[in-house]
C-alpha cells in the first residue's frame, strides 16, 4: 500500500503538528471540539517533502485528493467544477512552525466563466460571484504563474477612478464583470495562455504552488532568521470556501483573545464587512476595530466571543484566530498560539498563572528567553521634547532613530554596514523580510496591527509604526512626505512603536523600565533554576547594574579594563615599557591604590556574593603606543622588541604574570587589601576569587598559586579562593592535573572557541566566517552560540577529568556564551555551577537556566505555531 498523504479534518491522523502543520492541526482540533469550521482536508508535510525531493507531486497524491474532494462534495452537497452550484475551495499553506505571510494561499478555486454565472444565479448575488472570480484570477496568476501583483492592482485602481469610487465595495456587479475580463487579458498577456477553467487542474496547480512557496527566497531568509529547519516542509489545507464578501451581513476578521502588544485580557483585532480574508491581512482596506462588530453583526459577535473563550481555555494560551461570517454565520478558519511582544508574554503568563489556568512552571517555560531582550530595548527619552510629525498605529514597541531607506535591498546593505536605517514603505510584503531584519525599525503608510510589517516586527522585537496616514512616498523620486514635512531618503527620522508617533530628526533614547511582571517571572525562574547566574563586570557601576538585573556575583572582572581609563593608561604604558623590574615596580606602585579602590567598590556592590577577579590578561599590543607616538629612540626600540605578529597567541595572560611577577603581585595585594578594607568597614567579608588567565599547564598555575599565597600572607588575613580560566584546548585535556592546584575553574569560551577552532576572535567575523555562514558551511556564529559538538566536547572532557580528581571543583563559564540561551541550557546539562554574562543579559540567563531545569522535568513551552 502506498503512503497516505491526505486526512480530512475530522479524521484521526497518525501525527500532529509536524505532519499536519499548525493550521491543519488547529482545524482538526476545532472540528473535533465542535467549533464551527468549514469542511476540508489536509495534505501532509510528508507530501511536501516528497514533492521537494522530486519536484513533482508524489505518486497517488492527485488521486487521493480527488477522493477527498468527492467526500467534501458529499458533505457540502455541492459539486467541484459544477457550473450550477459549485463547490469552491481555498488552498492554504501551514507549516509546523508559524511563518506568517511567508507562504501562499489561493481562494475561490473551482470558479470559471460558467461556474461564476451559476454561482451568481444560485446566490442571486452576481456582484459577489464576479468579485470572487476576479480574486481567483488575481491570486492564481500571482501565486501559480508569478504575475506581478501590480498589474492586477493597477487595473483595479484604474477602474475605480473611472467609476469615481474609493472602495472596492463601491464597484457594481457589471464593473466587476468587466474587471474579470481585464484580469483574464492580463493573465493571457503575461502567460500566453487562457486562464485555466478546469477546477481539478486549478486545485493541483495550487497545491504545487504552495509546496513551491516553501522554497522561495523570502521563506528561506525567514527560516534562517528564526532558526527553522529547512526540511520541515509545509502542509496544504484544502478548505470549503465560506464567503465574507456576500454583502453587509458577511465579513471577515482576525483577532486575538488578549492584546498581543500589552497582554491585557481584552478582545483585540480587526474586522471588515463584506470582504475576504486577504483584504485584512494584506492591509489593502483599512479594517475596523473588532469591537465595532458588536453593532454591525451582533449575533456573529456573540458566537465569536463564546468560541474564543472556549479556544483559550482549551489551548490554555492566548489564541490568534481568523474568521469569516457568511450571511450571519460564523466560521473559524484558523486558530493558533498568538505571537506577542515580550511585555505581553510576561503579563499573559503571570495573569494566566494567577487565574489558575497554567502553573508557575508553565508560565516560566513559555517565555522566550531571546524575546526578553525586547524589554531591554530603548525608548524615547521621556524628558526629550518631541513633536510628532505624523501618527500611525503603535504596531510594535521600542523606539529607533535612523536614516530613511525606501527599499529592502538598501536597508539590508546599509544595516549590514552598521548604519542605522528605518525602512519606510507604503506597506511591507514578505519579500521585504531581509530589509526588515537589518533595519532598526519599520514605518508603513498602509495596513493595520495585524499587517505583515506589524506581525514581523513584533516577532523580531523591532519598533514598527504601521498605517501612518500622514505618510506618502514617491519611491522613484526618493522623497517622502511626513505630515507637513518634505523629506528624502537619507534624512533621519525617529519612530516610536509604543505610541505610533513619527518624528522628524533624531531623538534621545533611554533604556526602558522593567515592569512588575518581569520581576515576577524572573522571581519564579530563580526558584526553579539550578545554575547560578553571575555577571561579567569590571567597575562598581556595572556591578551595581548587574545586581539590579539579579546577578548573584561576578564571574569575571577583567582587570585590564580598569587599566584602560584615561588617567591610568600612561602609567600602564610606563610599566610595560620600563626596561627593568624597578621601573615596572615604580609604575605599579602608582597603579595599586587605583585598583584597590575599584575592587573595594565592586566588593561593596556585590556584598554577600562571590567576586571573581581575573589578573591581567591583555594582548600587550592593546596597551602599547604606536611606534609613531614614541618620544625617544629607546622607547621606539622597546616597542619594537615587544611587537608580536600574533598577539592573541603571544605574551598574554599568565605568561605575562609569570615573566613579570611584580604585576600579579601588585594585583593580588590590591585585591587582598581591598577585601580587608571592606570587611573592616562593613563587617562582612567579601567572597574573593582570584583567577589566573590562559593557563595550559599545571606548572603555570602551581607557580601562580604559590605567588598568590606568598603575597596574600604578607597582607592582612582574608579568605579567598585561587583558580583559573579554562580557555585553551590543552587545559581541557589536562584539567585533572590543573584541578589539583585550582579551587575553581571558569571556562573562557571566547578564547576556547578561538583556539579550538583556530578562528581568530579579532578577524573571523568580518571575513571568512561571514562567508561560512552565508554559504551554510556553519549554521551559527560559534562566537555567539557555543559550538557544542567541538568546544562543548572539550568542556565535557575538562569537567569529567577535573571533577574526577576533585569532585567538588567549582565550575563556571564567563565567555560571551554565558548569556546566550541555548548555550546556557548546554551549560546546565554539563553540570556547571554558574554562568556569567554581561549585565544586560543576566535576565535572559536566569530564565534560560530555569527553562533548562524545567525541560529536565518535561515542562516545555507549548509549541507556538499556525
Ligand atoms: C574568554 O576567553 O572567554 C574570556 C572570558 O576572556 P576574555 O574574553 O577576556 O579573553
Ligand atoms: Mg580569554
Cβ neighbours of residue 650 closer than 8 Å, sequence gap 6 or more: 619, 620, 644
For residue 727, which atom of ligand 1 is closest to its CA?
A: 2
Mean pLDDT of 706-715: 98
The residues assigned a catalytic role are 452, 814
* Residue among 535, 555, 558, 655 to mutate when testing ligand 1 (max atoms within 8 A of CB): 558
Cite the beta strand spans of 27-88 per DSSP E. 40-43, 79-80, 86-87
Residue 829 has pLDDT above 90, yes or no: yes
- pTM exceeds 0.85: no
Q: Sorting pLDDT into bands at 50, 70 and 90, what band is 618? A: confident
Going from the Cα of 748 to the center of ligand 1, the distance in angstroms, rounded, reads 5
Q: How many CB atoms lie within 10 A of CB 582?
A: 9
* Whether the predicted pLDDT of 722 surpasses 60: yes
Q: If pLDDT is split at 50, 70 and 90, which confidence band does 461 have?
A: low
| Strand 6-8 versus strand 288-289 pairing type | unpaired
Give residue 621 CA to ligand 1 midpoint distance, Å.
16
Q: Which pLDDT score is estimated for 130?
A: 94
Instruction: Name the β-bridge partners of 403.
Output: 421, 492
611 pLDDT above the threshold of 60:
yes
**Looking at the predicted structure, is the pLDDT value of residue 674 above 80?**
yes
Residue from 563, 748, 794 to probe ligand 1 pocket by mutation (most atoms less than 8 Å from CB): 748
User: Which segment, 409-418, 614-623, 714-723, is predicted with the most confidence on average?
Assistant: 714-723
Q: What is the pLDDT of residue 455?
A: 67
Which of 815, 817, 820, 834, when mutated, tests ligand 1's pocket best, judged by the most ligand atoms within 8 Å of its CB? Answer: 815
Give me ligand 2 centre to Cα 754, in Å.
9
Q: What is the mean pLDDT of residues 522-527?
A: 97
pLDDT (average), residues 741-753: 96
Report the nearest atom of ligand 1 relative to the CA of 747: 3
pLDDT at residue 451 tops 70: no
Q: What pLDDT score was predicted for residue 864?
A: 37
The 8 Å CB, 24+ separation contacts for 409-415 are 409/434, 409/435, 410/435, 410/489, 411/435, 411/436, 411/438, 411/439, 412/437, 412/438, 413/438, 414/438, 415/439, 415/440
Q: What is the pLDDT of residue 865?
A: 34
pLDDT at 595 over 90: yes
Compute the distance from residue 541 Cα to the ligand 2 centre, in Å: 23
Question: Which of left, alpha, beta for 60 (phi over 0: left; psi -120 to 50: alpha)?
Answer: left
Average pLDDT over residues 244-270: 91
Which residues form the pocket of ligand 1, taking CB atoms under 6 Å from any ligand atom?
Answer: 556, 558, 617, 727, 748-751, 814-815
Can you say how many angstroms the Cα of residue 792 is from the centroid of all Cα atoms in its chain?
24
Q: Cα(370)–Cα(847) distance, rounded to whole angstroms?
A: 10
| Model confidence band, residue 748 (pLDDT cutoffs 50, 70, 90) | very high
How many whole angstroms from 750 Cα to the centroid of ligand 2? Answer: 6
Q: What is the mean pLDDT of residues 549-565?
A: 88
Residue of 21 and 451 predicted with greater confidence: 21
Model confidence at 609: pLDDT above 80:
yes
Confidence of residue 541 (pLDDT cuts 50, 70, 90): confident
Q: Whose CA is nearest to atom 8 of ligand 1?
A: 750
- Residues 12-22 have pLDDT tens digits of 888 889 999 99
Q: What are the pLDDT digits (tens) for 488-506?
A: 999 999 999 888 899 999 9
pLDDT tens sequence across 689-699: 999 999 999 99
C-beta of residue 812 within 8 angstroms of C-beta of residue 747 = yes
φ/ψ of 204, rounded to 5, equals -70, -35
pLDDT in tens, 326-373: 999 999 999 999 988 888 999 999 999 999 999 999 999 999 887 786
- In the chain, the percentage of residues whose pLDDT exceeds 90 is 66
Confidence of residue 724 (pLDDT cuts 50, 70, 90): very high
Residue 283 clears pLDDT 60, i.e. is over it: no
Report whether pLDDT(471) > 50: yes
pLDDT higher than 60, residue 379? yes
Whether the pLDDT of residue 856 is over 90: the answer is yes
Amino acid at each position: 500500500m502506498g503512503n497516505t498523504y491526505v486526512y480530512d479534518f475530522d479524521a484521526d491522523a497518525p501525527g500532529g503538528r509536524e505532519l499536519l502543520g499548525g493550521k491543519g492541526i488547529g482545524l482538526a482540533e476545532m472540528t473535533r471540539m465542535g467549533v464551527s469550521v468549514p469542511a476540508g482536508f489536509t495534505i501532509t508535510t510528508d507530501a511536501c517533502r516528497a514533492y521537494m525531493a522530486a519536484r513533482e507531486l508524489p505518486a497517488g497524491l492527485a488521486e487521493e485528493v480527488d477522493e477527498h474532494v468527492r467526500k467534501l462534495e458529499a458533505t457540502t452537497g455541492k459539486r467541484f467544477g459544477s457550473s450550477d452550484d459549485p463547490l469552491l475551495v481555498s488552498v492554504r499553506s501551514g507549516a509546523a512552525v508559524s511563518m506568517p505571510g511567508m507562504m501562499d494561499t489561493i481562494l475561490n478555486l473551482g470558479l470559471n466563466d460558467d461556474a461564476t454565472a451559476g454561482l451568481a444565479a444560485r446566490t442571486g448575488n452576481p456582484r459577489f460571484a464576479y468579485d470572487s472570480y476576479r480574486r481567483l484570477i488575481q491570486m492564481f496568476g500571482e501565486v501559480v504563474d508569478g504575475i506581478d501583483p501590480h498589474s492586477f492592482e493597477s487595473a483595479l485602481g484604474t477602474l475605480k477612478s473611472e467609476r469615481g469610487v474609493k472602495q472596492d465595495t463601491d464597484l457594481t456587479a457589471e464593473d466587476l464583470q468587466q474587471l474579470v475580463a481585464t484580469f483574464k487579458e492580463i493573465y493571457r498577456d503575461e502567460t500566453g495562455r487562457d486562464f485555466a477553467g478546469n477546477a481539478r487542474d486549478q486545485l493541483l496547480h495550487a497545491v504545487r504552488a504552495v509546496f513551491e512557496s516553501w522554497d522561495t527566497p523570502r521563506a528561506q531568509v525567514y527560516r534562517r532568521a528564526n532558526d527553522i529547519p529547512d526540511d520541515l516542509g509545509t502542509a496544504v489545507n484544502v478548505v470549503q470556501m465560506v464567503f465574507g464578501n456576500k454583502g453587509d451581513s458577511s465579513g471577515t476578521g482576525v483577532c486575538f483573545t488578549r492584546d498581543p502588544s500589552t497582554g491585557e485580557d481584552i478582545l483585540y483585532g480587526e474586522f471588515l464587512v463584506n470582504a475576504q480574508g486577504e483584504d485584512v491581512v494584506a492591509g489593502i482596506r483599512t479594517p475596523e476595530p473588532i469591537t465595532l462588530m458588536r453593532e454591525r453583526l451582533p449575533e456573529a459577535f456573540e458566537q465569536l466571543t463564546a468560541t474564543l473563550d472556549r479556544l483559550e481555555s482549551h489551548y490554555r494560551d492566548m489564541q490568534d484566530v481568523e474568521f469569516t461570517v457568511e450571511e450571519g454565520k460564523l466560521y473559524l478558519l484558523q486558530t493558533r498560539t498568538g505571537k506577542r511582544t515580550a511585555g505581553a508574554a510576561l503579563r499573559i503568563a503571570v495573569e494566566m498563572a494567577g487565574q489558575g489556568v497554567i502553573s508557575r512552571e508553565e508560565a516560566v517555560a513559555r517565555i522566550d528567553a531571546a524575546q526578553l531582550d525586547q524589554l531591554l530595548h530603548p525608548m524615547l527619552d521621556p524628558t526629550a521634547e518631541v513633536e510628532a510629525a505624523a501618527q500611525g498605529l503603535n504596531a510594535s514597541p521600542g523606539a529607533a532613530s535612523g536614516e530613511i531607506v525606501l527599499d529592502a535591498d538598501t536597508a539590508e546593505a546599509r544595516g549590514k554596514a552598521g548604519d542605522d536605517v528605518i525602512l519606510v514603505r507604503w506597506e511591507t510584503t514578505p519579500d521585504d523580510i531581509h530589509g526588515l531584519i537589518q533595519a532598526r525599525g519599520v514605518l508603513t503608510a498602509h495596513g493595520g496591527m495585524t499587517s505583515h510589517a506589524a506581525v514581523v516586527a513584533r516577532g523580531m522585537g523591532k519598533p514598527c509604526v504601521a498605517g501612518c496616514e500622514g505618510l506618502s512616498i514617491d519611491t522613484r523620486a526618493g522623497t517622502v512626505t511626513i505630515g507637513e514635512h518634505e523629506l528624502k531618503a537619507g534624512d533621519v527620522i525617529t519612530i516610536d512603536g509604543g505610541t505610533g508617533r513619527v518624528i522628524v530628526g533624531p531623538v534621545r533614547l533611554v533604556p526602558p523600565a522593567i515592569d512588575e511582571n518581569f520581576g515576577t517571572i524572573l522571581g519564579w525562574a530563580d526558584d526553579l533554576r539550578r545554575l547560578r547566574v553571575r555577571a561579567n563586570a569590571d567597575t562598581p557601576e556595572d556591578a551595581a547594574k548587574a545586581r539590579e538585573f539579579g546577578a548573584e556575583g561576578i564571574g569575571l572582572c577583567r582587570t585590564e579594563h580598569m587599566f584602560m581609563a584615561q588617567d591610568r593608561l600612561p602609567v600602564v604604558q610606563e610599566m610595560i615599557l620600563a626596561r627593568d623590574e624597578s621601573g615596572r615596580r615604580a609604575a605599579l606602585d602608582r597603579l595599586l591604590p587605583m585598583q584597590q579602590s575599584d575592587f573595594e567598590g565592586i566588593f561593596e556592590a556585590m556584598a554577600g556574593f562571590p567576586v571573581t577577579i581575573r589578573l591581567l590578561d591583555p594582548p600587550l599590543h592593546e596597551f602599547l603606543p604606536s611606534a609613531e607616538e614614541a618620544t625617544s629612540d629607546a622607547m621606539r626600540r622597546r616597542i619594537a622588541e615587544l611587537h608580536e605578529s600574533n598577539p592573541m597567541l603571544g605574551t598574554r595572560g599568565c605568561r605575562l604574570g609569570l615573566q613579570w611577577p611584580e604585576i600579579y603581585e601588585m594585583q593580588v595585594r590590591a585585591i587582598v587589601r581591598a577585601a580587608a578594607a571592606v570587611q573592616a568597614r562593613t563587617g562582612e567579608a567579601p567572597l574573593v576569587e582570584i583567577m589566573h588567565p590562559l593557563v595550559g599547564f599545571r606548572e603555570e598555575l602551581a607557580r601562580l598559586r604559590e605567588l598568590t599565597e606568598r603575597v596574600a600572607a604578607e597582607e592582612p588575613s582574608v579568605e579567598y579562593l585561587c583558580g583559573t580560566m579554562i580557555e585553551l584546548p590543552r587545559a581541557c585535556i589536562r584539567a585533572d592535573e590543573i584541578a589539583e592546584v585550582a579551587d575553581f575553574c571558569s571556562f573562557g569560551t571566547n578564547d576556547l572557541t578561538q583556539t579550538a577552532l583556530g578562528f581568530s576572535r579579532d578577524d573571523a567575523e568580518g571575513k571568512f566566517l561571514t562567508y561560512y555562514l552565508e554559504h551554510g558551511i556553519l549554521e551559527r556564529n560559534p562566537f555567539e552560540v557555543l559550538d557544542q559538538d567541538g568546544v562543548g566536547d572539550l568542556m565535557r572532557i575538562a569537567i569529567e577529568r577535573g571533577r574526577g580528581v576533585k569532585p567538588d571543583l567549582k565550575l563556571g563559564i564567563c565567555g560571551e556564551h554565558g548569556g546566550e540561551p541555548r548555550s546556557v541550557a548546554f551549560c546546565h546539562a554539563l553540570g556547571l555551577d554558574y554562568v556569567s554574562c554581561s549585565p544586560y543579559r543576566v535576565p535572559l540567563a536566569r530564565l534560560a537556566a530555569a527553562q533548562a531545569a524545567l525541560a529536565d522535568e518535561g515542562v516545555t513551552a507549548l509549541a507556538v505555531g499556525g
